[in-house]
Amino acid sequence: MSNEIRIFCPATIANVSCGFDVLGLALDAVGDEMVIRKTKEKGIKITKLEGQNLPMETLNNVAGVAGLALLAESDYQGGFEIEIYKKIKAGSGIGSSAASSTGAVWAMNELLGKPFSSLELVQFAMEGERLASGVAHADNVAPAIYGGFTLVRSYAPLDIIKIHTPSELYATVIHPQIEVKTADSRKILKTSIELKDGIKQWGNVGGLIAGLYTEDYDLIGRSLEDHIVEPIRSILIPGFDKLKSESLKAGALGCSISGSGPSVFTLSRGEKTALKVADSMRKVYNNFGIDFDIHVSKINLEGIKQL
């Protein structure tokens, strides 16, 4: 068994419009790289962190915290060194923290001969998410580990379902270079919803799942509607309404906020349409004079992988 592994950790889109806190998907074209190596010394050390200015102390880095959660359940007597090469910007809303926390535990599990299940890896990685946002979410870490679309059917007990992903589905993600703190975008949400909004929302979640399984792209498009969170959170994202109307005109199936923002994502059928949608979104932000990154990506079906 090797003592070292180099991996790709995908960016992820949480919520996916109607599935607040329960749906997520993994991307192919954006992600971090990590190198994890066994050491005789116990514990976890972050020895390199390039690409972003983030804390390297084990207890302040999500990779360290998630890794310690795994070590606490393992009978392995040694430790690990972690190198992190960040390409995903922290606070972008495309799972920057989840990429590091899942990457750490996935790689450790490989190096130890896979003693833990995917569900257990999600539970360890959720401890990293607790450090990043104060809440142990699974909607970014689940797709990073399982690949494709995932549904968190229940948190207690944790029940994660990998959802079939149609082969022609592409995501376009635009990241305006503004800061939206996850804590702030949570604070503005209401704590209760109207029954009539709930009815619309679970209709759409059911429709989206059915559309994914039957590869019915029109149904997927009709179901990418969020009546609860998007109307409130979109206020924090400059030009959101225009991004949405222009991307739909360009052929996107749907458009909403990625995670807690500020990134905005669309889903499209086929790469050609996803690229056309990217052009329409670029134009909107060029007209607004807002700096941005933009990514066009196939949905990543396998999740984290060894390089």
**Between 139 and 246, whose beta carbon lies closer to ligand ADP?**
139
Q: Does 91 bind ligand ADP (CB under 6 A)?
A: yes
Residue of 150, 165, 172, 182 marked active site: 182
Among residues 94, 111, 237, 284, the one that binds ligand ADP under rule CB under 6 A: 94
- Among the listed residues 37, 41, 33, the one whose alpha carbon sits nearest the alpha carbon of residue 4: 37
91's tokens: 């606070």
Active site residue 168: no
55-63, 69-77, 167-175, 242-250 -> range binding ligand ADP (CB under 6 A): 55-63
Q: Any long-range contacts for 232-237 (C-beta under 8 Å, 24+ apart)?
A: 232/188, 232/189, 232/190, 233/185, 233/188, 233/189, 233/257, 233/260, 233/261, 235/188, 236/180, 236/184, 236/185, 236/188, 236/261, 236/262, 237/176, 237/180, 237/261, 237/262, 237/264
Phi-psi region of 133 (alpha: psi -120 to 50; beta: other; left: phi over 0): alpha
Q: Answer whether the bond into residue 166 is a cis peptide, omega within 30°.
A: no
Residue of 129, 150, 246, 266 marked active site: 129
3-state secondary structure of 87: coil
3-state secondary structure of 147: coil
Among residues 259, 264, 277, 278, the one that binds ligand ADP under rule CB under 6 A: 259
Among residues 13, 15, 66, 96, the one that binds ligand ADP under rule CB under 6 A: 96
Beta strands in 137-177 (DSSP E): 149-155, 158-163, 169-176
Among residues 21, 29, 54, 283, the one that binds ligand ADP under rule CB under 6 A: 54
Phi-psi region of 95 (alpha: psi -120 to 50; beta: other; left: phi over 0): left
CB of 61 to ligand ADP, least distance (A): 4
Q: In sequence order, what are the beta bridge partners of 39?
A: 79
**Between 91 and 176, whose beta carbon lies closer to ligand ADP?**
91
16's tokens: 């996916």
Answer for the pair 99, 300: CB distance below 8 angstroms, yes or no: no
Interface with ligand ADP (CB under 6 A), residue total: 20
| Mask for 139-178, x = binds ligand ADP (CB under 6 A) | ----------------------------------------
* Angle (deg, nearest 10), helices 96-111 and 118-133: 140
Q: Does 256 bind ligand ADP (CB under 6 A)?
A: no
Q: Does 185 bind ligand ADP (CB under 6 A)?
A: no
Among residues 63, 105, 145, 171, the one that binds ligand ADP under rule CB under 6 A: 63
Q: Does 15 bind ligand ADP (CB under 6 A)?
A: no
CB of 63 to ligand ADP, least distance (A): 5
Among residues 102, 123, 182, 266, the one that binds ligand ADP under rule CB under 6 A: 182
Among residues 36, 62, 70, 267, the one that binds ligand ADP under rule CB under 6 A: 62
Q: In sequence order, what are the beta bridge partners of 45?
A: 81
Which of the residues are catalytic? Answer: 129, 182
Question: By the criterion CB under 6 A, which residues form the site for ligand ADP?
Answer: 54-55, 61-63, 84, 90-98, 100, 132-133, 182, 259
